[in-house]
Structure formats: structure tokens, C-alpha cells
């Protein structure tokens, strides 16, 4: 299930170092460390070769006007020097596959004149190939306004959202000559993953996904189709209160499963989610810079006899179990059984995360912000992000409109927010099956409007209507049921 820890002997290590040096066009003396990639890193770097801007983030710092640029550059260099994952590249070697390579190298800076907007627009065309630096450093100066920006362009193979405040704080501390406590290095996290009990992981996922009746949603036209996230829709839900033993994420998962059941009548609701990985039993894991997230399938089974409380408790217990067995990787899970493979074919990724107001970082050098990359290509036809703020939950859906019509995506998200509100205000002894037929007032009004007039009969044969539709939409699905 999980790859076993591998230790290279002297001959193999020499061969691997020679391959890496040749691939990166560097001296072997520049190689500081070589170790195995996590399943997540392998997946992300492979997907990036398909879509150049996929899984890349830009972190922008609007520098204070009094910032000493040489001192600031030195602070950034010190942070990168102390954090091995920020000096890491990923290389594919014969016989052993993908490895991550820590290089003993200095930062290569890019300096440009112009506006921030111009720089970010040009960056959308950047290429990211195997072996390339996964962190790029840029300074932009607007010659007219004298505004200055520092931009980190960083690949998710070496970074996750949790890492951002830590990186920002470290730069600020180094610039202001404040001490930084030593932090866990990424190879310690990789070692922990490789030493996990693979049999125990496999048994959990086989059991939890056994006998599922999942039907892919949204349905792709063919297995090789790569979704193009060309549309977005955003809606705010009312604030979610954390309850005793039930997290806000669990309530959102419960509401999404009910929404899918309402729209599609699925026996099992299955979708993907992302675990933070910060609950792994490793001292210092919450201060680690590097990607600890993991994508896993979520299966929600409906029992018509369950009360709302029982339904939520089951989902909460499942959520806690997933945290223990999440790091084995989606690809490995899919190979366990036919049921697991079917469950891992999900095309909806549902992510709940702290809202923007929780991303405040210690700021001694300017104002930080994260700039999203183009939505563009993705592994999923529908991605739903729920940002949990004190004033409400911001729900953002990104989707492929050729697979999921815009109006249908909007209705799904609106119904999701409606169900969240109903669940939050419900009597916990109420049967969860009572929610399946609940319709929002706006939907009920639309239904009556749609049925206000009886359409005139069409004086033609059924097969003629089908033939006409086929001529008008030759690429549409023949049967969608």
C-alpha cells in the first residue's frame, strides 16, 4: 500500500546522484540530500506537466516604502537557506522513479519594472516542468508610483496553505533581526509517511469503500477528458456554529451529501476532500513548511432510520478515521479493489477551510496577499471551496460548464446553502430522511412558474424528435439518466 523506506547503497547513490546532476546540469557537490517523494508530490508534479499553471500559487508582498531592499533580500535568502523544502526540485530517475532533491544553491532573483498586474498576467504563461525550480523570487518596481512588490511564485509540490503564514512570519522576523525557533524539516515528515503501517491503511480503505453504489458526478464524456474550469459561482451561507463534538466541516459534508441525494438520488454520496495533514503524530508538525495535505474520498451512506444527530455523529467519526489513514495517496487507494477504484473516480472535490480573515500574519515588512492562479485545467469537473468566516461561509464553486451547466451548478450551491441552514436549525431527533424532499422557497416558486402553463402537444413522432435533437447537438450525451 505505502512505499517502503528505501536506503541506497553507495553504488546506487552514486548512480542516482550522477543522473540528477546530468538532468539538472549541475555539479554533484550541489546536491545536499535526495529522498523519496510523497504520493501527493508525485501526483502534483505529474499533473503540472499537463497544465502549466496548475497547482501554482503566487504570494505577493506589498513592501513598505522604508524597506531596505538588500536587507530584505538577505532575510529571504536566510529563510530559504534554513528551509530545505524551499530548495527542492523533483526529478525522475531510472529504476526508482520520482525523487526530491535538495540543492545547496543561492536564490536566483528576477527584477522587473512595471505594474504588479502586468507581472501577474505574464506569469500565467510560465512553464513548470520536471526538474525546474519550484520556488521563484521576483521584485517588481513601478517606476511611476515607486511602489514595490515582492512575489513568491510557488508550486504546491513544496507548499500548502498552512505553510504561508509560517513563511511570511519567518521573513519578517529575519528582516527585523528576531530569532526563529528551529522547525521540523520535510524529510522528517516523509520518513513518517514511509514508516506507516501499509496493511492497516489498506484494510481501512477497503472496508470503508466496500460495496459502494457510486455513480460519477459530474459525468465526464470519456476517461481521458481533462476538465477545463472555465466558470465560477459564489454564494454566502449564514454563519455556522461549532457544536459539541461536531465540526463545521462535518455539517458542510452532511449538507452536500443531502444535496447530491436530492438532485441525483444517489444511493451513496461520494466526493473528494483534502486533509490538512497537521494532525499527524509528529512533534512540530504544525510549524512545518511543506505540503502535508492529502486528497481522499469521502463516502456518505444514508440510513433512512437515522436521526440528524446520528447522521452527523457517523460523519464525524468517519472524518476522524480518515485523518489517521489519509497519507497513503489517492492512486494507491484506487488500486485496492474495484469498489475503491470506483470511489476514487469522483469528479467533485469539496474543501472546507479557514476563511480569509484567519490568514492574518505577523507583518513587519508590508502587506501579504495570496493571488490565485488561473482556474484553467483541473483533475475535477467541479471544485467547491467553503471558506469558514465568523460572518458566514463563503462558498466558491469552479466547474467545467461543458460538463455541468451554469444554471445547474448555481442551483446546487444555492441548495447546499439552504440545506446547511436547515441542518443548523434542525431538531437533532428529526429523521435525516425528512431533509431529502425539502425544497427551498425560491425553488418551489420556480417549480410553480415552470408548470403554470400546459405546453401545446407536438404533432410529430418521438423518433423524429430524437433525430432532430441529435442533429442540433451532435456532441451531447445520447442518454443522461
Q: What is the pLDDT of residues 71-86, one digit of tens each?
A: 999 999 999 999 999 9
Distance between CA atoms of residues 61 and 186, nearest Å: 25
For the chain, list the domains and their CATH numbers.
13-188 (3.30.559.10), 197-446 (3.30.559.30)
Coil, helix or strand at residue 159: coil
Work out the pLDDT band at 376, boundaries 50, 70, 90.
Answer: very low
pLDDT of 2 reads 38
Q: What is the mean pLDDT of residues 349-356?
A: 84
Tell me the three cell numbers of residue 193: 509517511
Assign residue 284 a region: left if phi > 0, alpha if psi is -120 to 50, beta otherwise? Answer: left
DSSP for residue 219: P
Predicted pLDDT of residue 167 = 93
Mean pLDDT computed over 454-481:
82
Q: Looking at residue 459, what is its pLDDT?
A: 81
Say how far apart CA 354 and CA 398 lie, in whole Å: 18
Mapped onto helix, strand or coil, the DSSP state of residue 244 is: coil
- Record the pTM: 0.82
| Residue 354 clears pLDDT 90, i.e. is over it | no
The backbone region for 221, taken as left when phi is positive above 0, alpha when psi lies in -120 to 50, beta otherwise, is: alpha
Between CA 102 and CA 99 the distance in angstroms is 10
Exposure class string for 415-445: b at 16+ Cβ within 10 A, else e: bbbbbbebbbebeeeebbbebeeeebeeeee
Give the pLDDT confidence of 316-332 residue by residue, as tens digits.
999 999 999 989 889 99
> What's the mean pLDDT when you consider all of the chain?
86
**How many residues does the structure list for the chain?**
481
Does the N-terminal peptide bond of residue 218 adopt cis geometry, omega within 30 degrees of 0? yes
pLDDT at 278: 92
Contact criterion met (CB below 8 Å) for 140 and 114: yes
- Per DSSP bridges, beta strands 348-354 and 231-237 are unpaired
Neighbours of 378 (CB within 10 A): 21
- Summarize pLDDT for 260-294 with one digit per residue, the tens: 988 877 678 999 999 999 988 899 999 999 999 99
* pLDDT for 371: 62
Q: Which residues contact 139 (CB under 8 A, 6 or more apart)?
A: 69, 109, 110, 111, 112, 148, 149, 150, 151
Amino acid at each position: 500500500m505505502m512505499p517502503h523506506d528505501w536506503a541506497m547503497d553507495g553504488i546506487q547513490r552514486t548512480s542516482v546522484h550522477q543522473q540528477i546532476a546530468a538532468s539538472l546540469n549541475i555539479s554533484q557537490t550541489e546536491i545536499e540530500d535526495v529522498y523519496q517523494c510523497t504520493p501527493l508530490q508525485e501526483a502534483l508534479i505529474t499533473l503540472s506537466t499537463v497544465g502549466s499553471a496548475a497547482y501554482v500559487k503566487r504570494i505577493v508582498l506589498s513592501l513598505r516604502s522604508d524597506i531596505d531592499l538588500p536587507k530584505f533580500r538577505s532575510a529571504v535568502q536566510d529563510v530559504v537557506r534554513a528551509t530545505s523544502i524551499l530548495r527542492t526540485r523533483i526529478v525522475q530517475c531510472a529504476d526508482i522513479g520520482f525523487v526530491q532533491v535538495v540543492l545547496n544553491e543561492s536564490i536566483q532573483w528576477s527584477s522587473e519594472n512595471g505594474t504588479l498586474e502586468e507581472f501577474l498576467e505574464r506569469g500565467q504563461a510560465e512553464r513548470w516542468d520536471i526538474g525546474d525550480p519550484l520556488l521563484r523570487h521576483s521584485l517588481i518596481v513601478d517606476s511611476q508610483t515607486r511602489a514595490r512588490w515582492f512575489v513568491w511564485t510557488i508550486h504546491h509540490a513544496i507548499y500548502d496553505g498552512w505553510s504561508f503564514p509560517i513563511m511570511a512570519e519567518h521573513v519578517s522576523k529575519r528582516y527585523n533581526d528576531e530569532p526563529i525557533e528551529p522547525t521540523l524539516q520535510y524529510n522528517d515528515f516523509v520518513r513518517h509517511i514511509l514508516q506507516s503501517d501499509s496493511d492497516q491503511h489498506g484494510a481501512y480503505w477497503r472496508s470503508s469503500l466496500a460495496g459502494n453504489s457510486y455513480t460519477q458526478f459530474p459525468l465526464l464524456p470519456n476517461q481521458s477528458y481533462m476538465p477545463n474550469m472555465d466558470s465560477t459561482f459564489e454564494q454566502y451561507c449564514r454563519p455556522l456554529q461549532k457544536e459539541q463534538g461536531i465540526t463545521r466541516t462535518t455539517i458542510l459534508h452532511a449538507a452536500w451529501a443531502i444535496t447530491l441525494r436530492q438532485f441525483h438520488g444517489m444511493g451513496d454520496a461520494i466526493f473528494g476532500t483534502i486533509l490538512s495533514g497537521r494532525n499527524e503524530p509528529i512533534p512540530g508538525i504544525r510549524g512545518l513548511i511543506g505540503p502535508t495535505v492529502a486528497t481522499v474520498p469521502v463516502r456518505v451512506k444514508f440510513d433512512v432510520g437515522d436521526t440528524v444527530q446520528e447522521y452527523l455523529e457517523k460523519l464525524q467519526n468517519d472524518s476522524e478515521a480518515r485523518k489517521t489513514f489519509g497519507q497513503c495517496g489517492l492512486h494507491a487507494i484506487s488500486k485496492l479493489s474495484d469498489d475503491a477504484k470506483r470511489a476514487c473516480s469522483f469528479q467533485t472535490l469539496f474543501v472546507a477551510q479557514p476563511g480569509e480573515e484567519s490568514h492574518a500574519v505577523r507583518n513587519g515588512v508590508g502587506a501579504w496577499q495570496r493571488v490565485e492562479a488561473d482556474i484553467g485545467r483541473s483533475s475535477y469537473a467541479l471544485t467547491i471551496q467553503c471558506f469558514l468566516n465568523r460572518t458566514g461561509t463563503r462558498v466558491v464553486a469552479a466547474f467545467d460548464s461543458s460538463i455541468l451547466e451554469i444554471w445547474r451548478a448555481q442551483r446546487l450551491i444555492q441548495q447546499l446553502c439552504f440545506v446547511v441552514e436547515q441542518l443548523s436549525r434542525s431538531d437533532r431527533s428529526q429523521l435525516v430522511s425528512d431533509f431529502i424532499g425539502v425544497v427551498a422557497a425560491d425553488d418551489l416558486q420556480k417549480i410553480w412558474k415552470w408548470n403554470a402553463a400546459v405546453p401545446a402537444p407536438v404533432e410529430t413522432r418521438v423518433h423524429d424528435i430524437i433525430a432532430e435533437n441529435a442533429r442540433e447537438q451532435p456532441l451531447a450525451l445520447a442518454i443522461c439518466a
